[in-house]
Amino acid sequence: MNRRLGRFGQREMTACAALTALNCGCFSIDKRDLYRGGNILHFATLLSLFAAFLLLELLTHLLRKTGAKSLGALCRRLPVPVRAVSLLLWAATLLLTVMLPQVHFLQAMTGLLYPDAEPVVIALYLLPCLILPACLGMETLVRTSRVLLPVTVIAALLTLASYARHYRIERLVPFFTTGHALLGQSVISLLRFLPPVLILLSAAPGGQGLQHVRRACRTGLWIGGGLTVALELCLGLTYRYTELSEMEAPLYRLIAEIDTVSAAIRLDRILLFVWTTASMLVCACALYAASLLLSEVCDVGDIRPPAVLLGCASVFAALLLTHADGVLRLLERYGWVIAVLPVPFCLPLFSERRRLRWQSGS
Amino acid sequence: MKRSLFGFDEPYDRFELLETETKTTGSSSDASEQRHAPQPVPTRLSRVEAALKERFFADQNPDLILRPFRIGRRFDALAAFLNGMADSGQIDEFLLAPAMRQEFPKLSRCTAKDLTESVFTLREAAAARTLDEAVSAIAEGRAAVFWAGSDECLLFDTRGYVSRSVGQPQNEPTVLGPHEAFTENLRTNITLLRRILRMPSFSAKLRPAGGKNGVQLALCYHVQRVNRKLLSEVERRLDAIEADAVLSIGALEQRIEEHPWLPLPQTLKTERPDRAASAVLDGRIVLLLEGSPIACVLPVTIGMLFASAEDASMRRPVGTLVRLVRAAGMLLSVCMPAYFLALTQHHAGQLSGEVLSVVLSSHVLVFLPLPAEMIFLLLVFQLVREAGIRVPGVVGHAIGIIGGLLLGQAAVAAHLVSTVVLIIVALSGLGNFTIPDYSTQMCVAYYRILLCVAATLGGFLGIGAAALLTLVLLCSVKSFGVPMLSPFAPATRTNRPFLVRGRLSRSGVQDFMNPEHAP
């Protein structure tokens, strides 16, 4: 097997969970619709966090009861219809975690930094940043998270602090305009913090015991979730809910408007750079978890073919969501290249299946 | 590399010191292949002579001296040694003279034990039963004594070749630390280490380096502090070396490290005995190669590559400050050219009017585009540096000054480069020199050019992508089973943080070395 799980400790897992929670909390959903109901998102985030804790307890209980070591193994032990549904749900959540920050990233890049650039070109920079870390495995990913978490937390605190003088408490009012808005917001954003749980539980065998994974996940959720609530509150204090309901990526916008700028060092750019780097790493973590799940369920011994395939597919989907015209133009021009590109990576998948079939036959 | 990149479904059996407590290390069966059956020492001296002449190609090699003599006027014997490698004075005085003296003790028989106890007066003597042992000992500079009717021979340590005396370190000078450096003589180097580590638990295990040139290698370690798995893994990798010649420690390092294609060094090369001794006390292994004045320390971490031998000699606050300055210098060296290019090429609108006007006014007459100018100057900087290193002594310093001052001045006057870019490259170069390890300096110097290309192509996006990929690679690299970013990622208990200089009282084996015994 070459699934590149490796072995990692509790502090690395905590960092991974916190970073994922922070990024998923900030970038996983388009919040424009949610702000239409009032300035309540920071409160709804707490509910999402609570939901994530509940789910973590439920899944760890299930893993302990069935004796499965990871989500993939648990999936195999479930009855077929439940297996199919749960697999579909988990895989979809993970793939959305890979894709949605990319959507925000592409929007922010084309909107704020590179207004004249082709989104496809920007996506080309994304691709290696997603695929290479995912191919290097979970051990590398959690270690990189451990390095990036302190930097991201400092970036978050700087973001909060640098806009402090513009905060107005009256902007938080109204909390919610209609009663069903609160419910709608909560339900939609309820699963925002699910990815850190899924990622860590998928890679649980590398984490030296389920108990350690659970503890790391909880601490990470507290750190990441807490920072997300603070950032949402900061956004609510900075903009009115009517403005927020029309912004594409409010956090990027907030960072871009930071006015503590010296002649040569642009704090806003550095913060943006930190946020996007952390975001890419989280996407890679989710990509790895999705690939692991796929490889476990399909009996593929190597993580790289599914990682390459899912990585390409997610970037393609993010491009389609943000700049469909450009993608269609690209397909017209270079469609054959895009069609041929994944073939070398698909071949090992088929050969692997054949080898397994041959082994079981003999 | 090809195998690790494109090989599918291969077992994850790379050596890991920290993680694989229960796993066995990589297989060593293929490495320790048996070559040929050892040839016993012939009992007839004529056969010994013929065999030695054949092995040493005596018809073409006049250095082999075969001196027949008689022990106590009774037993025919033959002394074999290499001219120039063995000390002829020692051979005359302690081997030949005692055997041929008039008042000879009466020996009923002639065995190795009798000869070492009653005849030969040299301190180090060992018996050997195979001709191969005798041949490799002679090649090292020892003298072999064969006598008629015996299937064993005696090997005496008569090595006496010329070597350089202990000098000052050329590449790692310090103000407060000791001023001694390793030499090309293995025995001297071990002695230099032993002078610092006067403890019975310090071991210097001699073994062949692996090349066909038969050079010796010393594996130096602290018996109680070294991890046995690490030691056996290093020996396994050394066993697996199949080379015509191992000529330098750098070549040896590349043959045993995990990622020889990575520019970042995975071992520390030092010419300072104090630094090597400190590494031994930390539970690390130091490799000393005959003919190489550099010691190779393994495993290493990033923190170790950026630490200087002098840090421990300074007071803690000063040491910490110096380390912070060094880190800032390194950051400056890596980021500054790329950051400048990203700002000017892709995000010019983000710069204030004053800065932008200064940049534009200095660049207006320069015909090269800004990125090409930057990369050109960085390469010229490397050129001047390489020339300064290769040119001997005082001329080398002069080249540095000429390159730095005259060339720079002339280039600005001729509008080949702009002053702003020149200043940035100079600052970046200065920052690079704060990195204590030479191999790391080189790695950073070329990495910043790569980062400049990324910044030119994609601005901050390019820098971000390159930085993330570099960080991920750094997190995945291990030096002999120890992650390079230890003790930070993975987080382990440490008494020596990366930036802050740790307390001297807390030195000892680090947690990530996975020590078997508490120091």
Chain segment A144-158, per-residue pLDDT in tens: 999 999 999 988 888
Say yes or no for a CB contact (<8 Å) between B11 and A113: no
Task: Give me the amino acid identity at B191.
Answer: T
Are B192 and B152 part of one and the same domain? no
Between A34 and B480, the more confident residue is B480
Q: Smallest Cα–Cα separation from B418: which of B455, B446, B377, B459? A: B377
Say yes or no for a CB contact (<8 Å) between B11 and A11: no
**If DSSP codes are grouped into helix, strand and coil, which group holds residue A324?**
helix
- B108 inside 8 A of chain A by CB: no
- Mean pLDDT over B243-249 rounds to 86
pLDDT value of residue B289: 93
Say yes or no for a CB contact (<8 Å) between B489 and A277: no
B9 within a domain of the structure (yes/no): no
- B357 inside 8 A of chain A by CB: no
Are B340 and B381 part of one and the same domain? yes
pLDDT value of residue A183: 57
Torsion of CA B431, B432, B436, B439, to 10 degrees: 170
Which of the residues B6, B473, B475 would you substitute to probe the A interface, choosing the one with the greatest number of A C-beta atoms within 10 Å?
B475
Question: Positive or negative, the Cα torsion across B264, B268, B269, B275?
Answer: positive
- B499 inside 8 A of chain A by CB: no
Are B51 and B132 part of one and the same domain? yes
Say yes or no for a CB contact (<8 Å) between A2 and B463: no
Say yes or no for a CB contact (<8 Å) between B475 and A6: no
- B484 inside 8 A of chain A by CB: no
Are B121 and B213 part of one and the same domain? no
How far apart are the C-alpha atoms of B397 and B371, rounded to whole Å?
Answer: 29
Within the 4-33 window of chain A, which residues sit less than 8 Å (CB to CB) from chain B? 4, 6-9, 11-12
- Give the confidence band of B257 by pLDDT, cuts at 50, 70, 90: confident
- Mean pLDDT over B95-101 rounds to 85
- A243 inside 8 A of chain B by CB: no
Look at residue B228 and tell me whether its pLDDT is greater than 60.
yes
Say yes or no for a CB contact (<8 Å) between A125 and B343: no
Structural domain boundaries, residue B379: 328-479
Look at residue A9 and tell me whether its pLDDT is greater than 50.
yes
Between chain A and chain B, how many beta carbons pairs sit less than 8 Å apart? 121
Are B332 and B475 part of one and the same domain? yes
**If DSSP codes are grouped into helix, strand and coil, which group holds residue B64?**
strand
pLDDT single digits (tens) B128-145 = 999 988 998 888 889 999
Q: Which residues on neighbouring strands pair with residue B159, listed in sequence order?
A: B86
Between A1 and A104, the more confident residue is A104
Say yes or no for a CB contact (<8 Å) between B461 and A114: yes
- A113 inside 8 A of chain B by CB: yes
**ipTM for the complex?**
0.84
Q: What percent of chain A has pLDDT over 70?
A: 78
As for how many domains chain B has, the answer is 3
Of B284, B300, B316, the residue that ends a domain is: B300
In B, minimum Cα distance to A275 occurs at B464
How far apart are the C-alpha atoms of B176 and B264, rounded to whole Å?
Answer: 28
- B485 inside 8 A of chain A by CB: yes
Ordered structural domains, chain A, with CATH: 10-356 (1.20.1740.10)
pLDDT value of residue A345: 59
Contact B172, B275 (CB under 8 A): yes
pLDDT value of residue B197: 87
Helices (H), B391-517: 393-401, 408-413, 419-433, 438-476
pLDDT value of residue B506: 58
Between A319 and B146, the more confident residue is B146
Look at residue B71 and tell me whether its pLDDT is greater than 90.
no
pLDDT value of residue B156: 92
Look at residue B338 and tell me whether its pLDDT is greater than 90.
yes
pLDDT value of residue B270: 92
- Mean pLDDT over A119-141 rounds to 88
* Chain B residues closer than 8 Å to A114 by CB: 346, 459, 461
Say yes or no for a CB contact (<8 Å) between B475 and A11: no
pLDDT value of residue B356: 81
- Mean pLDDT over A319-345 rounds to 69
Nearest C-alpha of chain A: how many angstroms from B485?
9
Look at residue A297 and tell me whether its pLDDT is greater than 50.
yes
Q: Smallest Cα–Cα separation from A231: which of A278, A184, A177? A: A278
pLDDT value of residue B399: 72
- For residue B327, the surrounding DSSP H or E stretch is helix B316-345
- For residue B269, the surrounding DSSP H or E stretch is strand B268-270
- B461 inside 8 A of chain A by CB: yes
B465 within a domain of the structure (yes/no): yes
- B468 inside 8 A of chain A by CB: yes
Look at residue A208 and tell me whether its pLDDT is greater than 60.
yes
Between A347 and B478, the more confident residue is B478
In B, minimum Cα distance to A270 occurs at B460
- Triad A132, B437, B218: Cα angle to 5°: 100
- Mean pLDDT over A59-80 rounds to 86
pLDDT single digits (tens) B294-337 = 999 989 998 888 888 788 788 888 888 888 898 899 888 999 99
Out of A3, A9, A263, the one facing B355 most closely (by C-beta) is A263
- B4 inside 8 A of chain A by CB: no
Are B335 and B455 part of one and the same domain? yes
Look at residue A275 and tell me whether its pLDDT is greater than 90.
no
In B, minimum Cα distance to A352 occurs at B9
pLDDT single digits (tens) B362-408 = 888 888 888 998 998 899 888 888 887 777 766 767 777 777 777 77
B205 within a domain of the structure (yes/no): yes
B22 within a domain of the structure (yes/no): no
- Give the confidence band of A91 by pLDDT, cuts at 50, 70, 90: confident
Task: Give me the amino acid identity at A294.
Answer: L
pLDDT value of residue A262: 52
* Residues counted in chain A: 362
* Burial of residue B29, with CB atoms counted within 10 A of its CB: 0-12 exposed, 13-18 middle, 19 or more buried: exposed
Q: Smallest Cα–Cα separation from A159: which of A249, A15, A260, A239? A: A260
Q: Smallest Cα–Cα separation from B206: which of B135, B312, B289? A: B289
Say yes or no for a CB contact (<8 Å) between A2 and B11: yes
* Chain B residues closer than 8 Å to A129 by CB: 465, 468-469
Nearest C-alpha of chain A: how many angstroms from B218?
33
pLDDT single digits (tens) A171-185 = 777 766 665 555 555
- B350 inside 8 A of chain A by CB: yes
Say yes or no for a CB contact (<8 Å) between A140 and B476: yes
Q: Alpha carbon B3 to chain centroid distance?
A: 27
pLDDT single digits (tens) A240-271 = 877 777 776 677 777 766 665 554 556 677 77
Q: Alpha carbon A35 to chain centroid distance?
A: 21
In A, minimum Cα distance to B485 occurs at A143
Up-side HSE of residue A94: CA atoms within 13 Å toward CB? 27
pLDDT value of residue B32: 40
How far apart are the C-alpha atoms of B463 and B335, rounded to whole Å?
Answer: 9
Between B475 and A83, the more confident residue is B475
B290 within a domain of the structure (yes/no): yes
pLDDT value of residue A287: 92
Between B256 and A163, the more confident residue is B256
Helix axes A210-238, A10-27, angle to 10 degrees: 30
- Give the confidence band of A312 by pLDDT, cuts at 50, 70, 90: confident
Which of the residues A8, A23, A139 would you substitute to probe the B interface, choosing the one with the greatest number of B C-beta atoms within 10 Å?
A139
- Mean pLDDT over B80-90 rounds to 87
Nearest C-alpha of chain A: how many angstroms from B326?
20
Are B120 and B242 part of one and the same domain? no
- A288 inside 8 A of chain B by CB: no
Out of A11, A128, A302, the one facing B9 most closely (by C-beta) is A302
Say yes or no for a CB contact (<8 Å) between B12 and A133: no
pLDDT value of residue B280: 92
- Triad A170, A174, A176: Cα angle to 5°: 150
Are B353 and B463 part of one and the same domain? yes
Say yes or no for a CB contact (<8 Å) between B10 and A2: yes
Are B340 and B438 part of one and the same domain? yes
pLDDT value of residue B29: 39
pLDDT value of residue A142: 93
- Mean pLDDT over A201-205 rounds to 89
Of B300, B318, B345, the residue that ends a domain is: B300
Are B336 and B414 part of one and the same domain? yes
Winning range, highest mean pLDDT, from A26-40, A347-361, B39-53: B39-53
B232 within a domain of the structure (yes/no): yes
- B8 inside 8 A of chain A by CB: yes
Look at residue B470 and tell me whether its pLDDT is greater than 80.
yes
Within the 319-358 window of chain A, which residues sit less than 8 Å (CB to CB) from chain B? 348, 351-352, 355
B238 within a domain of the structure (yes/no): yes
Say yes or no for a CB contact (<8 Å) between A281 and B468: yes
Of B280, B300, B320, the residue that ends a domain is: B300
Neighbours of A125 (CB within 10 A): 19
Are B340 and B470 part of one and the same domain? yes
Q: Which of A211-215, A334-338, B7-11, B499-503 has the lowest mean pLDDT?
A: B7-11
Look at residue B59 and tell me whether its pLDDT is greater than 70.
yes
- For residue A18, the surrounding DSSP H or E stretch is helix A10-27
- Give the confidence band of B285 by pLDDT, cuts at 50, 70, 90: very high
- B12 inside 8 A of chain A by CB: yes
B315 within a domain of the structure (yes/no): no
pLDDT single digits (tens) B6-38 = 454 444 456 666 544 444 443 333 444 445 578
pLDDT value of residue A187: 58
pLDDT value of residue B33: 40
Are B212 and B269 part of one and the same domain? yes
